[in-house]
A and B are shown apart, each in its own frame.
Chain A
Amino acid sequence: MENRAIFSGKLLPYLLILPQLAVSLIFFYWPALQALQQSFLVQDAFGLSTEFVWFENYVSLLKTPEYYHAIGVTFVFSALVAFFSLTLGLLLAAMANHNIRGVQIYRTFLIIPYAVAPAVASVLFIFMFQPGLGMIARALQRNGIDWNPVLNGTHAMILVVIVAVWNQISYNFLFFLAGLQAIPKSVIEAAAIDGAKPMRRFWTIVFPLLSPTTFFLIIVNITYVFFNTLGIIDTATGGGPNGATQTLVYKVFQDGKGGTDLGGSAAQSVILMIIVVALTAFQFRYVEKKVHY
């Protein structure tokens, strides 16, 4: 017997989705349209003079070598962060999925980092990695590694990747854990009886059954890296040194805020929007086919 409420009429469903629709329209579509409009304008900071310039902001953007550099940085950064935060999240989830004493405590502790705001996480890590002052930086220096994120681009990238990964692991951990617990024990036990070792059981049974979660997390993680890491980059490196950690979203922020070049900044955010939409569409179209639901 189905226990489902059935509503008659067409008004109620619309009424029920209205709040969500209003939120989407006001906070997502309206600003997006404003960005689109602004990207065709050249305007001073105070909005005192405005000129409609068609695609000029886009053309001049595509002529700047720094922009292509930022695209490269963004892809390297998101690949690294997505890879490490997903693998570490999965590893921790697989570990915490065992029946050990105090498992609830471990789980709670593993979730806590997600509650730390990105900028705060960044500050914590800056303290540890500050050359000459930080604990970890000093340990590295004692071991002959010339750790210097203010001047060495690779070091700066490693620093922001560590912070971003640390901040995101909990989220991935939570979803992977839920995914793991949803896998029927009987399947795994059957495989065990057939003589499959834990590693083989994981790769041939658990991992494929986990693929909807993994797929969902890949999308969420990439969106996270593309947008939410702004606070981390701003506090840790400010996009430096020499643009080594200047991602697309950070460049939008810098050009718009510091440079008060609203048109150029808006053009960048429109392109960024297109990239993210395209990436997500691509994932749904091709990657999803390999996902077992």
Chain B
Amino acid sequence: MLFRQFGLAATLTATLALASPAQAVTEIQWWHAMTGPNNDVVVKLANDFNASQSDYKIVPTFKGSYADVLNAGIAAFRAGNAPGIMQVFEVGTATMMAAKGAIKPVSELMKEQGESFDPKSYLPAITGYYSTSKGDMLSFPFNSSSMVLWINLDALKKAEIAEPPKTWPELFADAKKLHATSPTCGFSGSWITWGLIEQFSAWHNVPIGSKANGLDGFETVLEFNNPLETKLLESLVDLQKDKSYDYSGRTNTGEGRFTSGECPMYLTSSAFYPNVKANAKFNYTAVSMPYFPDVNGAPQNSIIGGASLWVMGGKAPEEYKGIAKFFTFLSDTDRQVYLHEVSGYLPITKAAYEKTKASGFYEKNPILEVPLKELTNKPPTDNSRGLRFGGMVQMRDVWSEEIEAALAGKKSAKEALDSAVSRGNQMLRQFERTAAK
């Protein structure tokens, strides 16, 4: 009996499935890099959108790490087979942007398809990263985070430190104090260049490179080998000697050192939250990034990390129509509120932020508001809107190499930064040669 019903249901489903192509559903490929719970979010978004209408079907495909998605997209484009939507991490922005003809700017897409779209309704600290200097949005922000300082409150208490550090000098002093109770690591961090160069410069309103950190176009020159950056690196080199500071690698592979309790102060992405919540067996909190109080106007505002959705060029009008509708669907305030609360990534519209705030969510989850407060601390300047350098993926490796050389005592802090700048400039010139045409 049960089997017969099942058989009937299966036949019905099969009939429906066979019937559906007759309605000419436009399929849109969406390549992404989200794993675990965030992959579920991607799938849910696609399913919800597909259920909300019957003309378009978003097909999400996991393509590996951020770098893998970018490379897969590039290879697919070269083979004439690019997906409709591609999730690209923030440092891939310059590469995508320079590929005129390979991409379709989001602002252009929304205008052409007649979707209501007001760039001002998005948080400027987020969209600024993905817009031209004129304010035209090139890609659609999807998952954004910022950098915060994670604190093991129990360890601080044990070392008799009353409250989390607000400034770098306080942090250095606390790291020294923590050395007694946490001998292998007082302070550490992930995404080393994002934290110590990119965020640090924006937070102190000093340029990473000329032309508004590359946002205003090509021929940028890196200039972060300044006295302030040198002072930071010198202090860390000094603390590295007795492991009051201990380097944890270039990406976020060292994050377990915070949740295991080894490193009581840890500078990394706000998106670390779900992991900390699941694994930390101590009282913890997250606070704003530290700053040097003697720098005028510090702290400024932080910049984002994460990824945005790029629309690929050369697609059929139907497909563009569907993508535009999908982006409108994503911008919906309630949907943004939901995404923010579920994934820990930041809301991208002002309305979603206000609504979450009004609901009292942050009183229960103050940690999730820290990155938003950092991003909106002050109106962004040319030094803090974001950065856009060609070949940024590899540039981060080159900068990391030099920081590693300084921390290992092979070079002085100043020498390492000078070398990071000159090697980086060489890479920028190489990138311009191929992209400027």
Contacts and interface: CB of A to CB of B under 8 A. Distances in A.
B73 to A, nearest CB: 9
A148 B102 CA distance: 43
B407 A151 contact: yes
A46 B427 CA distance: 17
Given A46-B77, A132-B262, A133-B262, 17 more contacts: A42-B434, A46-B74, A46-B99, A48-B100, A49-B437, A51-B433, A132-B184, A132-B260, A141-B184, A151-B247, A151-B407, A151-B408, A239-B397, A240-B250, A242-B405, A243-B401, A259-B393
The 10 closest A-B pairs by CB, nearest first: A259-B394, A44-B434, A241-B404, A258-B394, A242-B404, A46-B99, A49-B437, A242-B405, A46-B102, A258-B393
B423 to A, nearest CB: 8
B67 A257 contact: yes
Nearest to B73: A46
Contact of A132 (B257, B394, B410): B257
A57 B401 CA distance: 23
A18 B199 CA distance: 58
B99 A48 contact: yes
Interface string A223-263: 00000000000000011111100000000001101111100
A153 interface: yes
B408 A242 contact: yes
Contacts of B427: 259
B424 to A, nearest CB: 12
Contacts of B433: 42, 51
B137 interface: no
A45 B392 CA distance: 13
Nearest to A60: B430
A127 B99 CA distance: 40
Interface string B143-171: 00000000000000000000000000000
B372 to A, nearest CB: 31
A47 interface: yes
B434 A49 contact: yes
A101 to B, nearest CB: 44
A152 B394 CA distance: 21
Interface of A: 42-49, 51, 130-133, 141, 148, 150-153, 238-243, 254-255, 257-261, 264
Contacts of A46: 74, 77-78, 99, 101-102
B119 interface: no
Nearest to B430: A261
A264 B400 CA distance: 21
Given A153-B408, A241-B401, A260-B95, A43 B394 contact: no
A254 B396 CA distance: 12
B249 interface: yes
A243 B401 CA distance: 7
Contacts of B410: 242
B195 interface: no
A132 B260 CA distance: 9
A1 B404 CA distance: 70
Nearest to A256: B71
A262 to B, nearest CB: 9
B247 A44 contact: no
A152 B257 contact: no
B356 interface: no
B256 A255 contact: no
What is the interface of chain A mostly: helix, strand, loop, or mixed? loop
A240 B400 contact: yes
Contacts of A141: 184
A259 B262 CA distance: 34
B434 to A, nearest CB: 4
B104 to A, nearest CB: 13
Interface residues of B, number: 43
Nearest to A44: B434
A47 B430 CA distance: 15
Given A151-B404, A242-B408, A44 B184 contact: no
B102 A48 contact: yes
Nearest to B393: A258
Q: Quick one: which of A46, A51, A259 has the most chain B CB within 10 A? A: A46
Contact of B391 (A130, A152, A259): A259
A153 B78 CA distance: 38
Nearest to A53: B433
B254 interface: yes
B69 interface: no
Contacts of A148: 246
A57 to B, nearest CB: 10
Contacts of B391: 259-261
Contacts of B247: 150-151
A133 B254 CA distance: 10
A49 B71 CA distance: 17
Nearest to A152: B408
A164 B404 CA distance: 24
A44 B435 contact: yes
B402 interface: yes
Contacts of B437: 49
A275 to B, nearest CB: 23
A257 B254 contact: no
A242 B433 CA distance: 27
A255 B398 CA distance: 11
Contacts of A43: 434
B194 to A, nearest CB: 15
A255 B77 CA distance: 20
A76 to B, nearest CB: 17
A269 B185 CA distance: 41
A243 B102 CA distance: 33
B127 interface: no
Given A152-B408, A240-B250, A254 B100 contact: no
A52 to B, nearest CB: 13
A281 B201 CA distance: 53
Given A241-B404, A242-B408, A45 B99 contact: yes
